[in-house]
Structure 1
């Protein structure tokens, strides 16, 4: 069975359209529909009352409670530096969480990534190591003593060009080498989302799709929600 993670919203906001879920209730309903369409796992960005990504314990707990009320698959959150730029404050937020996700993504090229990952592991949260193309993430991950302990590696292709994204993806996979023996989830974004997803499926790798990565279906039509994107991915 193909492992497809649904990424419900990302750092997008109201300006990206009504389909992007921003409240815990909306995220939960999108998660339910996406899992019914074939998603195996959920990745979500909890939001502040003003719609910005946040690691605040109250927002994380509310999001996790709402989503878990609707789905029985693992649920993960972001720890992106844009949600909390100061690495020390990011670690403090994780230690203050009153509800724990099943896993959380850590972008390995960001300052403080090792400390953030260590804090998650200390709390029993699985770590998804986000290795972005165009960064030194792969090199830093290869040298990390925490690398063998992560749940999986997210090979994140940031090239939005549908023509070149597959080549960028292959180069990133080469840079990752054996990824310390950890499972690899390969995905793209924007114009590169569908070409990279198709490559991941051909290679037998886990992948992801959702309104975080793209707002459009393979034919270029605007997606009405995450479930439509998952349905299209399952049928690729």
Structure 2
């Protein structure tokens, strides 16, 4: 599986290539799917460019993307969208339009409550396990482990010289990961080394402007589609 991560926590300051509005996100998703992406991960944005879980922000974004693609579409539930766990859970409960899946960062406060609510409503859960956190240990102890859609193994080491080793350490820490499929990816300078490792190991992976603004040779990427095209050729 090759997931495209369209925008992440980036803003307009990161360049015009990063899609922000529902219309631009939908266009970028369609181009990325045409280039080989089989799944879409998106951070819905307010008009001022802030990540949001508000139903008024999430619904138009999902509807716009689904009008253009026929692959699963997922969103973030990161704590930065709403720091208060109870308020974040309330937003998720109020979603009138639901994504196919949502990533839940297991090291964040309120993660299990949000994951349980998502599962109750038929939304798949990507269990986000970040390197450098206690997410792997928390996930190993969670009764929800066998029910998640997959484990999103997120390597936060941005150094291209050490990111692959950090990825292997994270995988070792995950162990059997409750028997769930693993999607392995890196970020910034670690993006391409970790992606190549994921391909070699036979794991699902992802690419997109959330993770990196650069092609493997260091040139700026023009679009998510260009990144996907490069990734599927690795």
Q: Quick check: TM above 0.5?
A: yes
CA drift at 1:220: 0.3
2:69 pairs with 59, 71, 93, which one?
71
How far the C-alpha of 1:49 sits from its partner, in A, is 1.4
* Distance apart, 1:135 and its partner CA: 0.2
Match of 2:160 among 159, 162, 170: 162
Output aligned runs, 1:31-180, within 5 Å: 31-180=29-178
CA shift digits 1:70-115 (9 cap, x unpaired): 0000000000000011100111001100100000000000011011
1:1-16 equivalences under 5 Å are 3-16=1-14
Name the TM-score, length of structure 1 as normaliser: 0.99
Which residue of 2 is the match for residue 190 of structure 1?
A: 188
Q: How many residues align?
A: 234
RMSD of aligned Cα (Å) = 0.4
Runs (4+) off by over 2 Å: none
Q: How far, CA to CA, are the matches of 2:13 and 2:230 in structure 1?
A: 24
Secondary structure at the counterpart of residue 127 of structure 2: strand
Q: 2:198 aligns with which of 197, 200, 221?
A: 200
Tell me the TM-score normalized by structure 2: 1.00
In the alignment, structure 1 segments of 5+ residues that lack a partner are none
Paired with 2:96 and 2:73, the residues of 1 have a C-alpha distance of 15
